[in-house]
Each structure stands twice: as structure tokens, then as C-alpha cells.
Structure 1
Amino acid sequence: MSANHAIATDEAAPLLEIKGLRKRFSLSAGLLDQLRFRGGRLVRNHKYVHAINGVDLEVRRGEALCVVGESGCGKSTVARTVMGLISPSEGEIRYRGERIDGLAPRALLPYRRRMQMIFQNPYASLNPRMTISQTLQEPIRFHHPDWERRRVEEKVVEVMEAVGIAPDWGKRFGHEFSGGQRQRIAIARALAVDPEFIVADEPISALDVSIQAQVLNLMMDAQRERDLTYLFITHDLAVVEHFGTRVVVMYLGTVCEVAPTAALFATPRHPYTRALLSAIPRLSDHGIERVRLSGEVPTPVELPPGCVFHGRCPIANERCRREIPQLARHGDTLIACHAVEEGRD
């Protein structure tokens, strides 16, 4: 497959499509760990962590699609699977209409430049042995081996200035900077190869609150100036309300609801979304219905039958306990809930 063929050009189609995505992580180190005696017979017991369970998503050009949910719901696993850092167990990932999961490293090269990632921890994402200039030059030299040294250096200065970094920082190392400064450097590294799609995996959660807004505004400015598309992973609903175009709510590896940001915060439909939004601290409780969930989040090793949320849902019935709900369209919103389908919500 040639590079020209690999990148489709249909502007009407979603930039990224995820269909039936599943990811399982084995808990058994080897065959001997899986063997057990039961009833006098030797049987094989292979356990998995079911991190993603049939996720379907579309990311539209120019939007900031925010994925939210509590810790362990599979948000970061979706991000890393999309970027090819881990391989899916099942399902398809398509970029500009072309399937990219399972491609060989060489075949992925045309996509690597267009798809970049910003990681959560700015203290671990920078190589401590490289200067900032070397860190920013590395992806440029990799994707543009024909560029002369002067052109590479000019590009580094350009992206440093774009994110508010002084060019004389280039001679220093990552440990000499604060968390917010390091995350600016990480954003500059992502922008250095002029991508069109960026996966941001909780990029501000490790930063001081006073610095979070600065980094968030920087990302929003970059989106406007460079026509970027974001897949933004976060657990901070205040960030979502400020930053997101649409919101995906996940629970235990499944998608509960997908809605435009304003619609989701104004009229959440899924019972879990309602509980999640009711937990946001507010100055006034007027007009807010508090939803208090009972029980614990099930283990992803032994998934419950039916809807994964039924054990904590206040309006679950027998159908919820035995049948897995599918995402269905209700106006501009996609919801996976039997109660919504039956009008019991």
C-alpha cells in the first residue's frame, strides 16, 4: 500500500472510527499457572481483565471528543489502542476510512505523523538524557529524514514559540522545568510534525490547578490555529464542560452515552451519567437531583451478565440483568440503556 493510497481524502467521513473494540489482558503468566485440578481432572483456567468491551466510537474532524468515566473504566486503554501502543483483542480501528489496527510498523508510518499523543505524566514522558532541543528534533528528523539541519532547527523554534517556550530553553534538560513547563514541551513535541489528530490522555491531571487552565487554553489555541482534532481522555467534568465538543461516558469498558457537551450537561439520560454529573460540587443544590449509587463497581475480571451497570442502577429490571443494551440514537444522543428505550427513565 502506497502512502498516497493509505491516507483517504473523503472529508465527509469521520476522521477516526472504532467498531466493536475489545481488549483483554491475560492474568496468567504461563501454561503452568493456568492448570488446576478439579474433580480429579486437570483443567485449564485462563483468566482475563476485560478492559474494553465492544466500544463503538466516531471522532469527527475538528472536534474535541472527551471520554469520561471513573478510574478503571477503560478510557486510557482506548487511547493507547487507537495509537497502536497496544493491540486490540477484537474489533476495527479506521483512520480516514482505512483500517490501521494490525498494520506493520512500516505501513503505519504515514499515520504516525498525522496521529500524535500527549501523555498524562509530564515527569515521565520526556527523556532525561536529551535536551529539549534534541527532544523536539527527534520526531522531525524521523518523519522528515530529507530535511536539512537548518530547516529542522527552524521548525523547533517555531513550535517552541507556538506553545510559549523561550527558544533558549532548548539547551536545558527536562528535569530543570516544572510540571506545567514540561507539559508545554510535550505539546510542542506533538505539534512538531504538524499532526491533524491528537490523543491527549489526561494531560492536565498531574498538574497544579493553577497551571491546568494555562495548558488547557494552550491546547484550545492550537486546535483553532492548526485545525486539530482531539480525543481527550479525562475524569474532570469541569474540563469537559469547558473543552469538549461531544462527550463519551464509559463504565466498566463499555460506552453508556455519547452526546453533545451542552446536551449532556443539561439533560443527561443514562442513569450512570446522571449519577456522575450529580456528584459535581456546586455552590447551590437548587434544581439538582442527587443520585446516590449503592454497591461497588464490579471487577473487570468477572463481568456481570446483562448491563454492566445493573448492579448499581436504581431503575434496573430483569431485562437489564440478562440482556446487554446496545447504543441507540435518541435525537443527537447515543444511549445504551433498556430503561431509556422502554421510557422507564
Structure 2
Amino acid sequence: MSTQTQATNPLLELKGLEKRFDLDQGFLETVKLRGGRITREKRAVHAVNNVSLSVDRGEALCIVGESGCGKSTVARLVAGLLTPSGGEINYDGERIDNRSRAAMLPLRKKMQMIFQNPYASLNPRMTIQQALEEPVRHHNPRMSRGEVRDKVAEVMQSVGVDPSWSSRYPHEFSGGQRQRIAIARALTVDPEFIIADEPISALDVSIQAQVLNLMLEAKDQRGLTYFFITHDLSVVEHFGTRVAVLYLGTLCELADTRTLFENPKHPYTRALLSAVPKLNDDGPGHIRLQGEIPTPINLPLGCPFQSRCAFANARCREVRPRPLQQADGSTVACHAVEENRLDG
């Protein structure tokens, strides 16, 4: 009974996750003159707003959206690098967002992060051998020096990192080579969950496919679960099992990859997919979004996407849509979808 329950439980679950960054820190910054009266106002960037989703074991959930939509903030919240302003983060059935740094330590071995910029994520003063041995020693203090070296050598070989690189420093490598080293570093502690924050966006297009294939091979060989942040939808189509679309820190649509690409429902998702270059030209034309992009400081009252949506009406401007499950299993937060006001 307990084994079956464990198998059906998601590995990661976000419940009403929120993150605000205060802009006004001191007392004087909060004092404003409004209509001849002195008032106190605290401004904040609403980076993540009531996001709820789950990640099952063995899948690759991709989080997509424009720059500034809150993708990387969600990744850092999950990794414990930021503290949520509201909501919960549950990992393997246990809440983790309210844990102390010491209590999070056992999770660090299970949960690793691959960052966007391979030029900044590696210590320039460490050789590659030192950089790869450090996490192994930290999480396995009882391992002998020989065991640590064997573990590092095994991981280096599995991700195509040449053993002759061991004594060299990060500045001697290209971006693609550095990202391979960063992936190797994440895998040295045998994690089960990888948070990848735009891991290929800083690389040349010719190298991106190599790194993606490497990550897919590691997923199959090691049974990894990915929380993959990207803005490149062509990558999502080949890498992700499910896709979550964010706009201004709000979840617009959540669906299986095939369902999302074959039948996108939210107007924002349709606009994103229409911008993906395709070899055949028989699909719908590029949807050009009109209107102003609201700031995450002053979020609109209703739907965050209302100012750029061709289907917005009075309800969209006044009431924030709730994520509702559709017949095909996807989840969409849109009044127009709920009321069947979208064409086709």
C-alpha cells in the first residue's frame, strides 16, 4: 500500500508559490506624496504569483516564457537559493521551503542545479579535478581519496569529459566544454533531480544539440528527473515530457509536450508557438502581440495577459482566471478558453 502511494506521489510539488522582491527598503523610500497627502507605500516586484504544479519521477518538465516571466526565480525557489513569500514547496512528500540550511543539506545530494552561464558557474581558481572532487568530498566525507578519484573518473567518462582535462583550469575551455564539466559536477553526487536553468542558451547552436543529447542520455542511464528552464520552444519539443507556460510569474498553461504543440489553447501559448521557425509553411502565421507589457511591479487586476490579448473582455480585465483542467488533460488559466470564445 505504502509503496504504491509513494509511486504515485509527485517528486516535486509547488502549491500556490509566490515570490516578491521589495524595492523600497528604508523608511524614507516608502514615504510618498499623493494628492497633497503624505502616505506610505511599499513597492515590490511580483516575480512569481500563485504558481501550482508538480513534477513526476523520471519526467522532464520544461518551464517556458519570455524573459522576466519568473522562470529562473521559480528554479531558484525550488533549489532553496531563494525563500518564497508564500505557498509551499514539497519534495518527495515533505515540505522543504521552511527548512533551515542545515536541514536542507541532505537534500543537496538528491537535488543539483546546472546554471545558465558556464563561464561563471565554475571556480576559476580550481582545476577541473578539484571542482569535480569538491562536491563528492562534501557529501561523502567517509569516502577515501581513491574512491573519490574513481567516482570523478567514472562521471567524467560518462559525460565525455576527457581525463586529460583534469589538471587544467576553466578558462582553458570553450563554453560547451565548460557546460559538460558543470553537468559532470552535478552528476558526481548521484542526484535524482536536476534543476537546469537555461543550460544551453549561452552556447553556440552547433554545441547546443550535443549538450542536450548528453542530458537526455544521463536521464535514461541514471533515472534523472529534470526541471528544465528555457525560452527556446524548439528545444522543449524534443526534450520535455510536459510544458508549463509562464507569463508575468503566472501559470498560463500546463500540458503534455505533444498536446501543447498540437493543440495550444491559451492565446499567449499560441503566440509563442507561432514564433517558432518551421520548415513547412502550412501552419498558422506568426501572431504579433499588440499592446503594452505590464510591469511585475504594478500587475493588472484581472488576467496578466489582458493588455496584449485579442480576446480580452471586461471579465478578463476584472477577474484573474483560475487554472482549469481541460478534456485532454491540460490545464489552462483563461476566461476565453473557459467560455469557448477562441476561434478554431
Structure 2 counterpart SS, 1:288: coil
Counterpart in the other structure of 1:332: 329
- Alignment of 1:344 with 2:336, yes or no, is no
Deviant stretches of 4+, over 4 Å? none
Counterpart in the other structure of 1:188: 184
1:36 positional shift: 2.6
Counterpart in the other structure of 1:75: 71
- Where do residues 13-52 of structure 1 align in structure 2 (5 Å cutoff)? 13-38=9-34, 41-52=37-48
1:45 positional shift: 1.7
Q: Which residue, out of 54, 61, 65, partners 1:65?
A: 61
Counterpart in the other structure of 2:139: 143
1:37 positional shift: 3.6
- Alignment of 1:236 with 2:215, yes or no, is no
Counterpart in the other structure of 1:203: 199
**How many residues were matched structurally?**
337
Structure 2 counterpart SS, 1:158: helix
1:43 positional shift: 2.2
Distance 2:24 2:118 in 1: 32
Q: Which residue, out of 154, 162, 168, partners 1:166?
A: 162
The one-letter amino acid of 2:58's match is G
Q: Which residue, out of 221, 235, 249, partners 1:225?
A: 221
1:40 positional shift: 5.3
The one-letter amino acid of 2:45's match is V
Distance 1:290 1:317 in 2: 23
Structure 1: stretches of 5+ with no match in the other structure? 1-8
- Alignment of 1:249 with 2:257, yes or no, is no
What are the superposed Cα offsets for residues 185-237 of structure 1, whole Å, 9 maximum, x if unpaired?
A: 00000000000000000000000001000000000000000000000000001
The one-letter amino acid of 1:225's match is Q
| Segment drifting more, 150-159 vs 37-46 | 37-46
The one-letter amino acid of 2:231's match is H
Distance 1:119 1:340 in 2: 35
- Where do residues 308-327 of structure 1 align in structure 2 (5 Å cutoff)? 308-327=304-323
Structure 1 counterpart SS, 2:306: coil
Distance 2:283 2:41 in 1: 51
Distance 1:292 1:304 in 2: 21
What are the superposed Cα offsets for residues 23-75 of structure 1, whole Å, 9 maximum, x if unpaired?
A: 00111132222123445544222100100010001001000000100000000
Structure 1 counterpart SS, 2:258: helix
Counterpart in the other structure of 1:4: none
Q: Which residue, out of 259, 272, 286, partners 2:268?
A: 272
Distance 2:36 2:259 in 1: 58
Structure 2 counterpart SS, 1:22: strand
1:167 positional shift: 1.4
Q: Give RMSD over aligned pairs.
A: 1.1
Identity of aligned residues (%): 64
Distance 1:36 1:256 in 2: 34
Q: Which residue, out of 299, 303, 307, partners 1:303?
A: 299
